[in-house]
Structures are given as C-alpha cells and as structure tokens.
Amino acid sequence: MIWTLRRIVLIISARGAAIIMRYIHERAEWPKFQWNKEALADQLAAVRHRQGRLIGRMESLGFSLRDEAILQTLTWDVLTSSEIEGEILDPVQVRSSIARRLGLDAAGLVPVDRDIEGVVEMMLDAIQKFDEPLTDERLFGWHASLFPTGRSGMMRIRVGAWRDDSAGPMQVVTGPIGREKVHYQAPDAGRLDREMKRFLAWFNAEQKIDPVLKSGIAHLWFVSIHPFDDGNGRIARAIADMVLAQSEGSSQRFYSMSAQIRQERNVYYKELEAVQKGDLNITEWLRWYLDCLDRAIERAEEILADVLKKARFWERHSNVTFNQRQKDILMRLLEGFKGKLNTSKYANIEKCSQDTALRDITELLELGILQKDTGGGRSTSYSLVDL
C-alpha cells in the first residue's frame, strides 16, 4: 500500500450530479455498528465448536509438543502479519526471539535484529496480557516497538503518537503515480483523540457481544480509525488476537488469524474496502471474518503435522552432537528453506568459510540427514532426507 496526499474523491451519479463519497466514519450514526445476529448464529456456533475442539486436542499433547506448536504458531503469526504489509522477516530470527521470551529450549537459537525483537515484543504483550486494559500508552508502546528507529523504510514517521496529517490526509492508495486509486480515507487527525477514547472505552468495557465477534469488530474499528502514520494493520491484527485470547481465556495460541489473512490478502482488502464505503451494517464483514477464522483453525492441523515431523526429527537424532551452525541450518530447513541450499549459501548464512561449510555439510551427508539434489549443475545443492 502507498500512502499519499490526494484530493477529495467524487462520484458522478446517474443524473450527472457530483456527490462526495462518504466513508463509514463520516456517517452520522458512526460508530454504532449493526449486524444480524440470527444470520451469524450458526456460523459463530460452528467456529466456537471448532475452536474448543482444537484447544482440547492441543492440550492433550505432551508439554514439549505443545510448546513447539505454540512456538510455531506464534512464529507464523509474526511473519505473516508483517508480510501482509510487504515486510519480509527472517523466520529463524523470529522463532529465536519468541523462544527466548517464552523461556523455551528451542534448537537453533540465533542473534536477533532489533526490529524483529520489537515486532515480537508487541505481539507477545497483546496475547500474554490479554486480560489487561488496552490504553493509548500501551498502543504507543506497541507502535514504538514496531518502529525502533523512528522510520518506516526511508521515511521518518511519528512514533508512539497519533498521526498529525502534516503531509496530507491518511489514505490507502494503490496504482502508479498519476493513476492512483484511493481505496479509503481515514478520519482527520483532529478527530483522533476523541475517536480513540471512544474506541478504548468500548474495548475495555464489559460487553454482551461474543468475544469472537468482538475481535472482528475491534479489528475493523481500529483499522478504520487508522490512528498511526504506519503499522495500523499489524496493530489491528494484534488487537484482534488479544480478543481471541480473551475468548479462550488463554495466551496459548494454536492457530494464526494473520497467516490465514495472508492467504486471503486480496479478499481481505476487498472486504475492508466494501465495509468502509458502506453503511454501519457490518454483517457481511463479520461473516467473512468468521469464515476466515474457521479456516485459520482448520489450518492448525498443518501446524500440528509440522510439529510432529520436527519432533520425530530431533528425537531420531537425539544422540548426535551438532555444532551451532548445523543446528541453525537444520532448523531453517525444517522451517521451509527458500531456494536451494549450497555451500555458498551455508557459508553466507553461518558467517563461515566455504571450507567450513563444506565440512559441516559433509558430516550431515554422512549421518544420512542431508542428501545431494539431482541435477546439481554448476553448484551442488542439498536437502533434508525425507522424514
């Protein structure tokens, strides 16, 4: 997404008269959201049932497997929430940061960059302290964690404070310069104090709404206010995860809503745009949100399969002493190494010489852990032996 200064958007009616587009926050009844409870009842019940079954199944696992499932879920959550915004993080660093903060004895721990530590810190604060109030100071802390250098890419932004619109209105815009399309324009900066006080008061108050529905409403409401210069999507998803943790009364995460949204990113933006340009009836948004959550819970089966695969791998090789470089590369391969592994990549990743890389790889070949790929060409590549 590209943020830029644009004029007010006009729509030409069938009779040729120009009318100003009204976004959801410009309606007189904002933010009194409405939805059809009856239309969502069966869908909500099915999601709640699947949610309960998954938690029960995961809790029946041994401690080590459950910890690995949580670690993998949280890793995917951080990676995909950032990826939705076009930011690609190192999965091994993300995993290492989470493992350290959770006190888990995970294989292949590596040094972690400051920006990754900040993303992880925000996410864990949201789900581990799900029962604590959400305040502006807490949100400012999350935002500062996301942008420790005070910059988003090359651009300096306001960190730990609401945006001030000094560069123009906050808009979601796509397309090349000169042919941009405005998808949404957020409330003016002058409204932010009032808007956020109202949102936080609602969020922290006792609700008669099912927490799963509250999660979808909170996500939509926050991202529609868009109170920060950048990072609004990631913080909105952290808020949604916080409410999902409330719905389960647990900080243990076994499914990732962000990972599923990443899978459905185009539909996600389409649904957001539709509801933000509509009226205050958000039934269709909640219908999609529940569907997406249902698919996220269903995909947790894949996480469980990966967890069991990794557990079998480390158990099978429990009598082998790996050096730290080998542990790191094996973890990367188990997490889904992108591209082909060769001695040059090994040496570059592990900051060692090519001779050392070849020696490490040769040991893993002799142990039957790695195998040479067919059709090596100029550079022989290696992969894990099928588990």
Residue 239 in this model has a pLDDT that exceeds 50: yes
pLDDT in tens, 15-51: 333 345 689 999 999 999 999 999 999 999 999 999 9
* Percent residues over pLDDT 70 in the chain: 92
In a domain, 87, yes or no: yes
Sorting pLDDT into bands at 50, 70 and 90, what band is 59? confident
**3-class SS string, the chain:** CECCCCCCCEEECCCCCEEECCCHHHCCCCCCCECCHHHHHHHHHHHHHHHHHHHHHHHCCCHHHHHHHHHHHHHHHHHHHHHHCCCCCCHHHHHHHHHHHHCCCCCCCCCCCHHHHHHHHHHHHHHHCCCCCCCHHHHHHHHHHHCCCCEECCEECCCCCCCCCCCCCCEEEECCCCCCEEEEECCCHHHHHHHHHHHHHHHHCCCCCCHHHHHHHHHHHHHHHCCCCCCHHHHHHHHHHHHHHHHHCCCCCCCCHHHHHHHCHHHHHHHHHHHHCCCCECHHHHHHHHHHHHHHHHHHHHHHHHHHHHHHHHHHCCCCCCCHHHHHHHHHHHHHCCCCECHHHHHHHHCCCHHHHHHHHHHHHHCCCEEECCCCCCCCCEEECCC
Residue 316 lies in a domain: no
Average pLDDT, the chain: 88
| Residues 294 and 335 occupy one common structural domain | no
Please identify, among 308, 341, 374, the residue that sits at the C-terminal boundary of a domain: 308
Q: For 90-105, write each residue's pLDDT tens digit.
A: 988 999 999 999 988 7
* Same domain? 331 vs 210: no
Is the same domain home to 278 and 355? no
Q: Do 129 and 213 reside in the same domain of the chain?
A: yes
- Residue 233 labelled as part of a binding site: yes
| 316 assigned to a ligand binding site | no
Same domain, 53 and 185: yes
Which CATH number covers residue 90?
1.10.3290.10
> Are 304 and 332 in the same domain?
no
279 is in an annotated binding site: no
116 is in an annotated binding site: no
Global pTM reads: 0.78
The answer to which of 13-17, 55-59, 74-78, 106-110 has the lowest mean pLDDT is 13-17
| 219 shares a domain with 107 | yes
Q: Does residue 109 belong to any structural domain of this protein? A: yes
Range of the domain at 112: 10-308
| Residues annotated as part of the active site | 226
**Residue 205 belongs to a domain:** yes
Q: Is residue 2 part of a domain?
A: no
Is there a single domain that holds both residue 212 and residue 280? Answer: yes
pLDDT value of position 21: 65
Question: Can you give the pLDDT at residue 67?
Answer: 86
| Model pLDDT for residues 251-277, shown as the tens digit of each residue | 998 899 999 999 999 999 999 999 999
- The answer to whether residues 236 and 360 belong to one domain is no
The CATH number for 353's domain is 1.10.10.10
- Output the pLDDT for position 108: 60
Same domain, 379 and 283: no
13 pLDDT above the threshold of 50: no
235 is an annotated ligand-binding site residue: yes
* Residues 89 and 131 both lie in one domain: yes
**Is 348 annotated as contributing to ligand binding?**
no
Q: Which of 37-41, 63-67, 209-213 has the lowest mean pLDDT?
A: 63-67
Report, as an integer, the average pLDDT of 183-197.
96
